[in-house]
Amino acid sequence: MNPVQEAVTTAFKLFGQQSPIVSSDSLQLMVNKIDQLSSEELDCKKEYIKHFPYIFTKVIENDQFQFSIFYIKKGYQLPLHDHPEMHGIMKVLFGQIRIHSYTTINIDSEEKSSNEKYPIICEKSEDFVIQSDDPPICLTPYLKNIHEVIADTDAAFFDCLVPPYKEKCNFYRGLPKKLQIAGVKNVLLVASGKGGVGKSTIATNLAITLSKRCSVGLLDADVFGPSIPLMMNISDTPEINHQNLIIPVHNYNIKCMSMGLLVDEQAPVVWRGLMVMQAIRKLLRGVRWGPLDVLVIDMPPGTGDTQLSVTQEVPIQGVVLVTTPQSVALADCIKGAEMFRKVDVPILGVVENMSYYHCSSCNKQHHIFGRDVGHRMKGSALSDVPILGKLPIKPDISQHCDSGTPTVILDSEISEMFDQIAHSIIPSLNLEHD
């Protein structure tokens, strides 16, 4: 039996026996796939990691199991899986690694026999070392649901995610509870399904407007395309305090943090989903936000890793959705609304951006991107959601964004519109003084 087959066998032995979740067809499919792996492939990847930090190979995945192989370069830190409802079986194929923040499962003593090789049993450890000659270990998330592997040498390990067999795993805790960000009373999301609808502009100006009434922070959660540093005219590299927490950068009486402040302005962030989720947790938990009445989070477009990470990590008072009148933008906004409903985030309302252009020559409003958004929202996930405001197309707005001066500071008309939007949102927030 090769090392990978040994890990698979252990996984099925611990979590697959007599479990209604696991089918025999799925078991056979996994075994067949694992049998196709060869020692030549492992030797080939040993050469690859001389040039790359890590390589990830997903062997197979379905709704019952996920099998993956990670090849990791010496000294590199890699976040492990982020599935708090799953348990993992790990087997080192070559080299030596260390694991953080895991507790191994204890197998019922009556099930053990002298000729069976069960996983190592250990308590939660900051540095648990495993090598290629160690048997497979069974890991279960404990308190934290993001973990790291550190390579002491060039290494490869096999990771098998399996659903918990609750009768066997009496410590099963289910999904972790959402915890408040230290010192933050309210978390308010500004989101959209579609990029390019002015979401960051809305988030920035809404944060400035709310800051007239309470203390506000602004988090740029768009790891790949951060806009807040430019719009808030901030560029200082954040400092770290004695608690190893990042100190937000201040401007316009707003505490700000963005990935754009942590990487070079022209450097692209080329990360897989797990690294993005780890970065989001750092921006949420590793920043000294408090004391703060409201943290406004400028979300990236779409319904992916960042959205799920944020909504599963912290309690959220509500989300403001942004769309333009275009059908293509509204369709994605509706998808976003459906996602937030599924994760139990209250939808406070929709801001219709670029709603119209007011012509100074003819003194008329022209609906360049369409109209009747409220009518088209009927029968969808937005059917009972109010429109908080309709913002016009104004060339000055883009100029203000590029210059780092939020429009509400310079334009009294736009400022009044955002005052009305804020007035509609505030009753949903937990504020002592409104």
Question: CA 422 to CA 203: how far, in whole Å?
Answer: 11
Give me the percent of the chain exceeding a pLDDT of 70. Answer: 67
Q: Would you state the pLDDT for residue 50?
A: 56
Q: Would you state the pLDDT for residue 81?
A: 46
* Average pLDDT rounded to a whole number, residues 287-315: 90
pLDDT category of residue 17 using cuts at 50, 70 and 90: very low
Residue 84 has pLDDT above 60, yes or no: no
* Average pLDDT rounded to a whole number, residues 316-339: 92
The type of residue at 227 is S
Helices 199-210 and 395-403 pack at an angle, to 10 degrees, of 70
- What the block records as the tokens of 135 is 């048997």
Q: Would you state the pLDDT for residue 173?
A: 34
Q: Would you state the pLDDT for residue 93?
A: 78
The residue ranking higher by pLDDT, 261 or 124, is 261
> Residue 425: which of 315, 310, 334, 320 has the closest Cα?
320
pLDDT category of residue 25 using cuts at 50, 70 and 90: low
Q: Would you state the pLDDT for residue 172?
A: 31
* Average pLDDT rounded to a whole number, residues 241-260: 92
SS (H, E, C) 128-183: EEEECCCCCEEEEECCCCCCEEEECCCEEEEEEEECCCCCCCCCCCCCCCCCCCCC
Question: CA 30 to CA 26: how far, in whole Å?
Answer: 6
Residue 188 has pLDDT above 90, yes or no: yes
pLDDT category of residue 386 using cuts at 50, 70 and 90: very high
* Average pLDDT rounded to a whole number, residues 81-107: 60
CB proximity list for 55: less than 8 A, separation 6 or greater? 45, 48, 49, 70, 71
Residue 360 has pLDDT above 50, yes or no: yes
The residue ranking higher by pLDDT, 256 or 339, is 256
Burial 348-379 (b: 16+ CB within 10 A, else e): bbbbbbbbbeeeeeeeeeeeebeeebeebbee
Residue 22 has pLDDT above 70, yes or no: no
Which domains does the chain possess? Answer: 3-162 (2.60.120.10), 184-428 (3.40.50.300)
Question: CA 290 to CA 429: how far, in whole Å?
Answer: 16
> Residue 204: which of 192, 223, 213, 217 has the closest Cα?
217
pLDDT category of residue 56 using cuts at 50, 70 and 90: low
- What the block records as the tokens of 420 is 């009305």
Q: What is the mean pLDDT of the chain?
A: 76
* Average pLDDT rounded to a whole number, residues 121-127: 44
C-beta of residue 388 within 8 angstroms of C-beta of residue 426? no
* Average pLDDT rounded to a whole number, residues 42-70: 57
DSSP state of 194: S
Residue 259 has pLDDT above 60, yes or no: yes
The residue ranking higher by pLDDT, 51 or 114, is 51
Question: CA 83 to CA 97: how far, in whole Å?
Answer: 21
Q: Would you state the pLDDT for residue 319?
A: 96
Which stretches of 189-326 are DSSP H helices? 199-210, 228-231, 273-285, 305-313
CB proximity list for 409: less than 8 A, separation 6 or greater? 208, 252, 415
The residue ranking higher by pLDDT, 201 or 44, is 201
Residue 408 has pLDDT above 90, yes or no: yes
β-pair type (318-323, 239-240): unpaired
pLDDT category of residue 207 using cuts at 50, 70 and 90: very high
pLDDT category of residue 95 using cuts at 50, 70 and 90: confident
The residue ranking higher by pLDDT, 105 or 260, is 260
